[in-house]
């Protein structure tokens, strides 16, 4: 490591006797054996071999942590969640197991609109408490950045309330929160048959209000075939979002090939999410646009879907693959990023390294934050996790285990002892 590659020591804290999965190079995991990582303020100040430190550890920082040979990775990035909602849909889950179709469940009043009804009537304290409980479970497995969507209000007041709660969670917990506006998650009953009027309402009133209040970072949308709010109206919403300075992304090609991946690429979207049925033509467009493919194996598992995303085509065309929990009450009640990484390996045949990159640097790219987080690199935010494993592949091998020993977020210890 060159002198110019690190901030001036003494640093605030130093981790030594570690094995680092920096993910900074194409080499397996970007690994550095017998490594060290230094923190100054909320940033990574130095990364390299312990032998290359500019002096004895105790002279470099007042606080020295000894990892005892444990692995350190970047903090996990959960780039697609619907974390804030009221109630649950357990009865719907039971009916689906018994053979009920998506169409039958919707006809019986289930689906997104059921959660919308419950979320609209819930008090703010209830929404905060339930979201906090879910968030803490995710953080306990190493999540240091999380994306949280609105979308269960489908009106002005509750959509804004959800975004305010998401912002508040980022202030009250040691985690970075990225918010997405998903006002087109469904068509509310009061706008039945009037999708164009609803999107106009979002463009004219709700989205500008969210931006004016500083509540939203990204505009999300949908591009599924047969959806009440199709691609033409989503494009209208995205045009408004971009005029307000927001990047865009979308749910795409989960149940059929609607050209959704190509549509998101054409819109300059950060990511297209789901993509079980995406075509090779769309994948080519995503590759050209740099649009990330966010894979959500929790939904595939929970819904017992047989179709898998075309991972080999993503590899062939050089499309970055991210992973996320998709935490939501209907299709992915998942609170374990480690389980998602394991599912991606066993169900989608990602390698353990692809899975780890998918939940770190690729997730950061899906949120437009690759320059800030996602690798162990000098200058990036000091978000990293110390794992009690002998090799990184163990993170996806032991199902149900949580080897997370310590979480550092923004240079501060968020979980684990002050000294290992």
In the chain the domains, ranked by start, together with CATH numbers, are: 3-74+376-415 (2.30.40.10), 76-366 (3.20.20.140)
pLDDT of res. 5: 47
User: Which residues are paired to 322 by β-bridges?
Assistant: 294
CA distances from 159 to 19, 154, 402 (A): 43, 6, 34
Contact call for residues 275 and 255 (beta carbons, < 8 A):
no
pLDDT of res. 346: 98
- What radius of gyration do the chain's Cα atoms show? 21
Residues of the chain predicted below pLDDT 50: 1-6
pLDDT of res. 9: 72
Q: Report the candidate in 250, 249, 237 with the shortest Cα–Cα distance to residue 205.
A: 237
pLDDT of res. 419: 52
Question: Within a 10 A sphere around the Cβ of 17, how many other Cβ atoms?
Answer: 17
What is the model's pTM? 0.96
Contact call for residues 51 and 17 (beta carbons, < 8 A):
no
Q: Is 187 helix (H, G, I), strand (E, B) or coil?
A: coil
pLDDT of res. 383: 98
- Annotate 24-40 with b (16+ C-beta within 10 A) or e (fewer): beeeebbbbeebbbbbb
> Which sign does the torsion angle of CA 6, 8, 13, 16 carry?
positive
Phi-psi region of 93 (alpha: psi -120 to 50; beta: other; left: phi over 0): alpha
Q: Is 402 helix (H, G, I), strand (E, B) or coil?
A: coil
What is the C-alpha separation between 323 and 177, in angstroms, rounded? 17
pLDDT of res. 227: 79
CA angle 240, 245, 251 (to 5 degrees): 65
User: pLDDT of 165-192, one tens digit each?
Assistant: 999 999 999 999 999 999 999 999 999 9
What does 294-312 look like in DSSP terms, one character per residue?
Answer: EE-HHHHHHTT------HH
What is the C-alpha separation between 49 and 69, in angstroms, rounded? 13
């Amino acid at each position: 490591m060159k002198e110019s590659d690190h901030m001036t020591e003494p640093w605030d804290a130093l981790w030594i006797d570690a094995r680092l999965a920096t993910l900074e190079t194409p080499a397996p995991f970007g690994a550095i054996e017998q490594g060290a990582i230094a923190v100054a303020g909320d940033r990574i100040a130095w990364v390299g071999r312990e032998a290359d430190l500019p002096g004895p550890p105790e002279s470099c920082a007042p606080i020295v942590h000894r990892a005892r040979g444990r692995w350190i990775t970047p903090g996990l990035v959960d780039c697609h969640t619907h974390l804030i909602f009221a109630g649950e849909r357990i009865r719907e889950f039971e009916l689906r197991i018994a053979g009920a179709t998506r169409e039958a469940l919707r006809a019986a009043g289930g689906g997104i609109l059921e959660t919308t009804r419950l979320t609209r009537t819930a008090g703010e304290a209830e929404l905060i408490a339930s979201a906090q409980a879910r968030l803490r479970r995710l953080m306990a497995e190493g999540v240091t950045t999380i994306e949280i969507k609105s979308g269960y209000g489908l009106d002005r007041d509750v959509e804004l309330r959800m975004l305010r709660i998401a912002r508040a969670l980022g202030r009250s917990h040691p985690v970075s929160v990225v918010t997405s506006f998903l006002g087109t998650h469904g068509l509310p009953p009061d706008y039945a048959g009037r999708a164009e009027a609803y999107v106009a309402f979002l463009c004219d009133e709700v989205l500008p209000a969210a931006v004016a209040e500083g509540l939203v970072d990204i505009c999300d949308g949908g591009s599924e075939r047969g959806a009440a709010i199709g691609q033409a109206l989503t494009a209208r919403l995205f045009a408004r979002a971009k005029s307000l300075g927001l990047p865009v992304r979308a749910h795409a090609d989960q149940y059929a090939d609607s050209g959704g991946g190509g549509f998101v690429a054409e819109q300059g979207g950060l990511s297209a999410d789901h993509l079980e049925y995406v075509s090779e033509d769309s994948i080519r467009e995503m590759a050209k646009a740099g649009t990330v493919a966010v894979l959500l194996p929790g939904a595939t598992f929970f819904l017992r879907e047989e179709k898998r995303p075309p991972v080999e085509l993503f590899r062939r065309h050089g499309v970055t693959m991210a992973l996320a929990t998709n935490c939501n009450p209907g299709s992915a009640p998942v609170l374990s990023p480690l389980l998602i990484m394991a599912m991606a390996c066993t169900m989608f045949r990602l390698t353990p390294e692809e899975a780890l990159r998918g939940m770190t640097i690729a997730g950061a790219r899906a949120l437009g934050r690759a320059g800030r987080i996602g690798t162990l690199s000098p200058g990036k935010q000091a978000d990293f996790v110390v794992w009690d494993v002998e090799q990184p592949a163990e993170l996806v091998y032991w199902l149900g285990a949580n080897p997370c020993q310590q979480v550092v977020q923004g240079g501060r210890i968020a979980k684990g002892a002050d000294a290992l």
